Structure 1
Amino acid sequence: MAAVLAAPTARLRDILQLRFTDLFAALPARTLNGISPANPLRRLARMAGYAALRLVGNVFRPIRNPEQLRGAVWLYVVSQNNYDSLRFIRDARPDSVLVAGQSKQIGRYNQQVNRLSLRRKGLYYWQFPFVLAGLLRLEGQRAWRFCDLIFNAIGYYEVYRRALRHYRPRAVVFANDHNDDARALLLACRAEGVPTAYVQHASVSTNFPPLGFDLNLLEGQDALDKYRQCGLIRGRVELVGMPKADAFLARRNTAPGIRRVGFAANLLDDTRQVADAVAHVLRELPGLTLTFRPHPGDARDFSFLRQQHPELQFSDARQQSVFEFLAGQDALIAADTSTHLEATLLNLASIYYRLGSPASFDDYYGYVAHNLVDRADSPAALVEILRRYQQHKPLDLYRRAAYYNATLGTPDEGRSQQRALRILREWLESSR
């Protein structure tokens, strides 16, 4: 029995690799509690709620996919950002379909993706006590601390293997390499011999799992250098730039100074420090138009900012894409977010300003270290940089992004989609 359960234990450890890192454990308590409650009773209650509402609910929820999944190229998405990153393949290839787990929330695209049934997922929860015991031996108390995440991840691999055998997709293309359901599908594809490809959808970290797809389409040298630090790279690697940015690169910001400033908050930012920074900028620079944009997955209520500052504008990340938001700005203020790279590509003046995240996340993506963005370490320094850019904003800030975007300054600049589609087509033909 122990030998039989060793494989599920090792598999769940792989699937949840990011959850067992020091970085994940160092998340702010507020953020971590939103993912996995610190209180053991609340963790157990969450597991019970998941079993009752999600697993049982899936059994009685019919799935009527509008498109044919059998033999298609699957574009597997776990978020609204994933959808935006892979939509260009769907638009170009009639044989491709966008796919997500049965109850996965894909933001404004919830009704536009096909669904993979998870009705049978509950059949595999008998594994939980044995897998938990195995992970306690391997990971210590972190396995108990995140037992609800282990519970939720069980069964994905098995039901996805069943789906792959039933539909026999030609290949599966991912835009995420670390979420539990995405990693489970990747491992299922390996077991069933289904080719896999990966399209990078955002900046990456050296804390990510080793790159494990048959074809890896990365944005630039930064991603490749980081993935080399993550471990052995499996499969072919091509640097293709950022496909989702193509339509916007021709409309780079050419304003000689800044008047419109975007403020992008993420899940790690402290609410009070966000509010203080917004108030400070509005008070010291009343001539600027400031637009606040919370992360699309942020459930916090920021309406108090609207009440305190009627002049503050808002961007709804669930309705407006990041590039649509940036197209209306001349500069960006944010902490650790890929939006800095996207802003710089559009020639915005981007400023890194920490808002209460743990020290372990300082310059998480290395944007400051590689001179992609300016850094402000105090409210006074932030205002000073903004004032400087009010007087003069260079027209070549976007060149700073060359290390992150392989097509910048080449004949393929603005044609990353065509480059990625060509490589993907050749790879699919060779994988027959």
Structure 2
Amino acid sequence: MFNVNFNIYKDILHIFLNGEIEKTPYRYHKIFYPKGLFFIKTIANIVANIIVNSVFGLFTMDTSSNCVLKNNLWFFTCSKNNYDALKDVVEKIDPSIFVWNRQNIIKNNEARTFLNIDYHRLKYIWKLPIIVFLLYKEGVGFAKNIVIALRVVGVFEAYIEILNKLTPKGIVFANDHSIEPRALLLAAKSLYIPTIYIQHANVNENFPPIRFDLSLLEGEDSLYKYKKCTKNTFVYKFIGMPKFDKHVLKRKKNIKFNTMGIALNALDSFDKVLSFVKLIKKIFPNLSIIIRLHPADDRDGTVFKKKYVLSDPKKTSVFKYLNEIDINIAAETSLHLEATMLNVPSIYYNFTEKEEKDVYGFQKNGLTFKATKNLDVIQLLEEIFQRKEDVYKRAKYYNAFIGTDKEGKSAIIAKVYILDFIHHGV
């Protein structure tokens, strides 16, 4: 009973132990590495949630939701991005069910079935000091690892208990690196429950190795990166991008130059953006400007709203934003890919003082146009609209179905692969 398989915990915490999480802005990773008073508040919230959910679990663990979950095909999600990546596939498979790691991630969604792991993991809280000590030996300081340890302790063991009770036919994931989906994956693998992965966003080479029984990838880029971080061979199929299916017919056919979109990330300097836009408007006075903040950026964007249109990521989808513009400019963001697939030329331009990293390889693989200074952008704009290239073809390395007869059918093809695997195996 008193064994702690730290190798399991190390696998679950892969992106924490290799420093990948800390590369993101503090506003993103502060829930794992809080500072000052927020450190105390975070620990208090985690402990309170464990206690409250455990008490709640006493009255709900044998409700009718378990009947729905038992022997069903699960689509596990822990964020809105995961949900968006899976929903078009889920709609085509019956029976199947969305399973959440917490309540009410998506408001007004009818299927709110969630797994109350806190009810189960409370009994494993005794492992906390051992995990803290072992993380410390891995070089993670106490102040950093106490919050991580609290978030991870007992999660794997809790999922083992839940899966033993509910025995799903299989589990489809859209996340391979966050704590709860990683723990659920490893628990399912240990019980020989089929696991399938549908890529929900761009990946990088610092992600954990692939451990799914079947991986449904978007294209060559993700395959190349997963091969680099996975020592063993793995089973995969290309399915393109299911969430793009319904947008294929909206791909722009005539390149115009009426509206420019600027998609910001949390590191971009507002002052640098304002200076850039001022120059662009001076040279192209009739050009409309739409500025879009990152969904996780909590900065006040009203400084742009005074003169320009501000696209609210919480109200306006990425694809709606892209349908409203003729050219996109951004630094590090996966939005370059969506723009290019819609035949919207996308320019990579750094709005920070930091060195650009090309995390997704968009420049290296020729997806985006590259500008290093304001004058480069002006020159590129003139070249792009003179050349009138069908830039969507540049996305084929990332989306294997681009320009093929399978484009727009990703969700259906994913359904075929999933059901065939569940019923017949590899």
TM-score normalized with structure 1 length:
0.88
Equivalent-residue separation in structure 1 for 2:163 and 2:233 (angstroms): 21
Question: Once structures 1 and 2 are overlaid, which stretch shifts more, 164-173 or 150-159?
Answer: 150-159
What residue ranges of structure 2 are gaps of 5+ in the alignment?
A: none
The Cα shift of 1:133 comes to 0.6
SS for the counterpart of 1:317 is: coil
Aligned to 1:340: 336
Equivalent-residue separation in structure 2 for 1:271 and 1:146 (angstroms): 33
Aligned to 1:124: 124
Alignment of 1:24-423 (within 5 A): 24-29=21-26, 31-33=28-30, 35-39=32-36, 42-52=38-48, 54-61=49-56, 68-103=68-103, 106-108=105-107, 112-120=111-119, 121-138=121-138, 140-142=139-141, 144-233=143-232, 235-307=234-306, 309=307, 312-356=308-352, 358-359=354-355, 362-389=357-384, 391-392=385-386, 394-423=388-417
Equivalent-residue separation in structure 2 for 1:358 and 1:193 (angstroms): 46
**Residues 77-134 of structure 1: CA distance to partner in whole angstroms, max 9, x if unpaired?**
121111111012211012111111124x635566643211133233322212111111
**Residues 255-313 of structure 1: CA distance to partner in whole angstroms, max 9, x if unpaired?**
33222222222234344444544555445433222222222233322223213x2xx22
* Contact kept? 2:217, 2:239, Cα under 8 Å: yes
Aligned AA (2:92): A
**Residues 135-167 of structure 1: CA distance to partner in whole angstroms, max 9, x if unpaired?**
1112x1456434312321222212222221222
Question: Once structures 1 and 2 are overlaid, which stretch shifts more, 24-33 or 71-80?
Answer: 24-33
SS for the counterpart of 1:197 is: strand
SS for the counterpart of 1:58 is: helix
Equivalent-residue separation in structure 1 for 2:300 and 2:105 (angstroms): 20
**Residues 376-424 of structure 1: CA distance to partner in whole angstroms, max 9, x if unpaired?**
21233233323444x4362411111111111123221222222221111
The Cα shift of 1:23 comes to 4.1
Question: Once structures 1 and 2 are overlaid, which stretch shifts more, 330-339 or 199-208?
Answer: 330-339
The Cα shift of 1:168 comes to 1.1
The Cα shift of 1:343 comes to 0.8
* Contact kept? 1:89, 1:96, Cα under 8 Å: no
Question: Once structures 1 and 2 are overlaid, which stretch shifts more, 217-226 or 24-33?
Answer: 24-33
Aligned AA (1:57): V
**Residues 45-68 of structure 1: CA distance to partner in whole angstroms, max 9, x if unpaired?**
31122212x223323557677781
Identity %: 32
The Cα shift of 1:171 comes to 0.6
The Cα shift of 1:175 comes to 0.7
The Cα shift of 1:31 comes to 4.5
Aligned AA (2:376): A
SS for the counterpart of 1:99 is: strand
CA 1:175–1:274 in 2, change beyond 3 Å: closer, same or farther? farther
SS for the counterpart of 1:229 is: helix
The Cα shift of 1:321 comes to 2.5
Question: Once structures 1 and 2 are overlaid, which stretch shifts more, 145-154 or 175-184?
Answer: 145-154
Equivalent-residue separation in structure 1 for 2:19 and 2:320 (angstroms): 35
Equivalent-residue separation in structure 2 for 1:38 and 1:324 (angstroms): 37
Aligned AA (1:124): Y
SS for the counterpart of 1:292 is: strand
Equivalent-residue separation in structure 2 for 1:378 and 1:260 (angstroms): 20
Equivalent-residue separation in structure 2 for 1:375 and 1:161 (angstroms): 48
Aligned to 2:12: 15
**Residues 157-191 of structure 1: CA distance to partner in whole angstroms, max 9, x if unpaired?**
12222221222111100111111111011111112
- Equivalent pairs counted in the alignment come to 420
Question: Once structures 1 and 2 are overlaid, which stretch shifts more, 205-214 or 145-154?
Answer: 145-154
Structural RMSD (CA): 2.6
Equivalent-residue separation in structure 2 for 1:164 and 1:261 (angstroms): 49
CA 1:395–1:415 in 2, change beyond 3 Å: closer, same or farther? farther
Equivalent-residue separation in structure 2 for 1:430 and 1:195 (angstroms): 11
* Contact kept? 1:282, 1:288, Cα under 8 Å: yes
SS for the counterpart of 1:193 is: coil
What residue ranges of structure 1 are gaps of 5+ in the alignment?
A: none
* Contact kept? 1:351, 1:373, Cα under 8 Å: yes
The Cα shift of 1:243 comes to 1.3
Aligned AA (2:361): G
* Contact kept? 1:76, 1:172, Cα under 8 Å: yes
CA 1:188–1:271 in 2, change beyond 3 Å: closer, same or farther? farther
TM-score normalized with structure 2 length:
0.90
* Contact kept? 2:25, 2:266, Cα under 8 Å: no
Equivalent-residue separation in structure 2 for 1:35 and 1:386 (angstroms): 41
